[in-house]
Amino acid sequence: MKRTAGILLPIASLPSRYGIGCFSKNAYDFVDWLKEAGQTYWQILPLGPTSYGDSPYQSFSTFAGNPYFISLEALIEEGVLTEEECEAADFGKKENDIAYKKLYENRYPLLRKAYERSRITENPAYLRFVEENSWWLSDYALFMAVKGRFEGCAWTEWAEDIRLRWDFAMDYYRRELYFEIEFQQYMQFKFYEQWNALKAYANEKGIYIIGDIPIYVALDSADTWARPELFQLDEQNVPYAVAGCPPDGFSADGQLWGNPLYRWEYHKSTGYDWWISRLSYCFRLYDVLRIDHFRGFDEYFSIPGTEKTAKNGHWEKGPGIELFRRVEQCLGWHEVIAEDLGYVTDSVRRLVRESGFPGMKVLEFAFDSRDTGAANDYLPHNYIEDSIAYTGTHDNETLAGWFQSITPKERQMARDYLGDSYTPDEKLHKSFIAVIMRSNSKACIVPIQDYLGYDNTCRINQPSTIGKNWRWRITEKELSKTLQEEIRATAMRYGRMNWD
């Protein structure tokens, strides 16, 4: 077994000159930094265009890329933007924060200028991209253009003719919004051109990308609007059942996500064609694919579409192993990480085992005073080889923040497990990282904030909250040589060094 290590850092959280991490020189510098730190993997979050709330797990498309990640520096080099134009735009003043409202107001006008100056229809690579991706791009570009015409409203609030995709309305808006549609296609072309170049560079350096997709698509997405037959929608394309999680000790009402549920019998009747297309696309984008909420393929929680909470939901059977057998039959074997966290049943464990995909082990889940048994799946001495170990994920507190938030009893449990009664709290994150690095898991992924010992002010996401998430960015100064050498020494010490 090759023991490896990697770092979790979203693209948006990279350093950059213009308000948000993107595919600029900073991204290439980070690849070099990872290489020198002895890492094998760079794990990112979903790359799709984000909607209200800025969550990459609620995207306008499961296939499109986020235009915010297009490097303005690259467009300056192309000659379609000037440095003066980019410097004049207000993207916020804090280099460690993302001001999404200012990005929305100021980045798109710059991208529009770049498009109008690009003479893009004379570019054979662009024409080829549009033709090869028309199976998703034409619907997405029209969706975004029409959304702009309706002042950003969700498609469920559009005029009935275009909401239900009547032929004459589709033809009308394609004519009426021709240049808006072409602008959307231009942004997707630049996104994928720049992403593919960055991924190729990373792979040349021996760094492999772990991508991420949510199991569900957003209701307000091109996917749902264009393919209503795939989802549990009524004749007016209104969801009659939506996704979420049942009530538990943390939430008396459960979680009402609101994503449309799949009509699995229909997917089965097509040989899971849409899933084959979706995963085939992802396998080209990433070296390894993490699938969020993997347990939903075994059983999914169904909540009536009219409900305001998840209290009255119930469990339904998902497609199970049949889907992944079909994927392997059509696409061959690919590396996938099954996000099997939360309430895990025996049938979920069986599905993960039968799929052959490694599951996830999260250290922060290991020290729960309500369950002190040594058989805890999240205690590092119990990690099986075919697993991926994490200190925490994008949804968790930072290690330092978590240790301060748990009970005194749980802090003592953690110290007893580490055999460490003396290390000051502010340095204990290093001991926690070391303990998962010593585990049998074939890969260990650590959020960069945990290596830095940062508290919850640097947290990526706090589920069920809006307005303060997905905003944190690291600065160039924080990606220091000292930190790099410390991470490299850790990888070497525990046999996880990337020597390629």
Please check whether residue 307 lies inside any domain of the structure: no
Using the 8-state DSSP alphabet, how is residue 426 labeled?
Answer: G
Q: Is 292 a catalytic residue?
A: yes
Place of tokens 């009255």: 312
Strand 241-245 and strand 255-260: the pairing is: antiparallel
Residue 299, in any domain of the structure:
no
Residue 357 neighbours by CB under 8 Å, 6+ apart = 294, 336, 337, 338
- Give the pLDDT confidence score for residue 373 in this predicted structure: 53
First to last CA, the chain: 15
Among 161, 395, 455, 476, the one annotated catalytic: 395
> Quick check: 113 and 101 in contact, CB under 8 A?
no
Element (H, E) at 302: strand 299-304
171 has catalytic annotation: no
pLDDT tens, residue by residue, 247-293: 876 678 888 999 999 999 999 999 999 999 999 999 999 999 999 99
The helix/strand/coil state of 73 is helix
What is the SS3 assignment for 152?
coil
Which pLDDT band holds residue 371 (cuts at 50, 70, 90)? Answer: low
Question: What does the pLDDT read at residue 20?
Answer: 97
* Amino acid type, 208: Y
Residues 382/363, Cβ–Cβ less than 8 Å:
no
Domain residue limits at 394 = 4-226+359-493
Q: Does 292 fall in a domain?
A: no
Question: pLDDT tens-digit profile of 403-425?
Answer: 999 999 999 999 999 998 889 99
Mean pLDDT of 70-86: 98
pLDDT higher than threshold 90 for residue 463: no
The reported pLDDT for the residue numbered 247 is: 87
Query: Which of 220, 339, 397, 450 is the catalytic position?
Result: 339
Amino acid (1-letter code) at residue 440: N
Q: Is residue 301 part of a domain?
A: no
Asked if the model's pLDDT at residue 1 lies above 80, the reply is no
Cα 87 from Cα 89, distance rounded (Å): 6
The domain that contains 52 carries what CATH number? 3.20.20.80
Distance, CA of 154 to chain centre = 22
- Give mean pLDDT, residues 152-161: 97
Query: What pTM was estimated for this model as a whole?
Result: 0.96
Q: Strands across the sheet with 336-338, in order?
A: 336-338, 288-291, 208-213, 41-43, 4-8, 443-447, 387-390, 359-362
Q: Which of 139, 220, 287, 292 is catalytic?
A: 292
256 domain residue, yes or no: no
Name the helix (H) or strand (E) containing 316.
Answer: strand 314-317
Long-range CB contact pairs, 302-309, < 8 A, 24+: 302/232, 302/241, 302/242, 302/243, 302/261, 303/241, 303/242, 303/243, 303/244, 303/256, 304/240, 304/241, 305/238, 305/239, 305/240, 305/241, 305/242, 307/256, 308/256, 309/253, 309/254, 309/256
Count of structural domains, the chain = 1
Q: What is the pLDDT of residue 289?
A: 98
- 431 — phi, psi (to 5°)? -70, -35
Angle at alpha carbon of residue 450, lines to 483 and 390, rounded to 5°: 120
Q: Is residue 36 annotated as a catalytic residue, yes or no? A: no
Residue 374 lies in a domain: yes
CA–CA distance from 30 to each of 34, 195, 373 (Å)? 6, 14, 41
Read out DSSP for 153-185?
Answer: --GGGS-HHHHTT-HHHHHHHHHHTHHHHHHHH
What tens digit of pLDDT does each residue of 283-300 get? 999 999 999 999 999 999
At residue 173, does pLDDT exceed 70? Answer: yes
Task: Residue 331: count other Cβ atoms within 10 Å of its Cβ.
Answer: 12
Confidence band (pLDDT; 50, 70, 90) for 374?
very low
The span from the CA of 170 to the CA of 182, in Å, is: 15
The dihedrals phi and psi of 421, each to the nearest 5 degrees, come to -105, 0
For residue 482, tell me if it sits in a domain. Answer: yes
Residue 336 lies in a domain: no
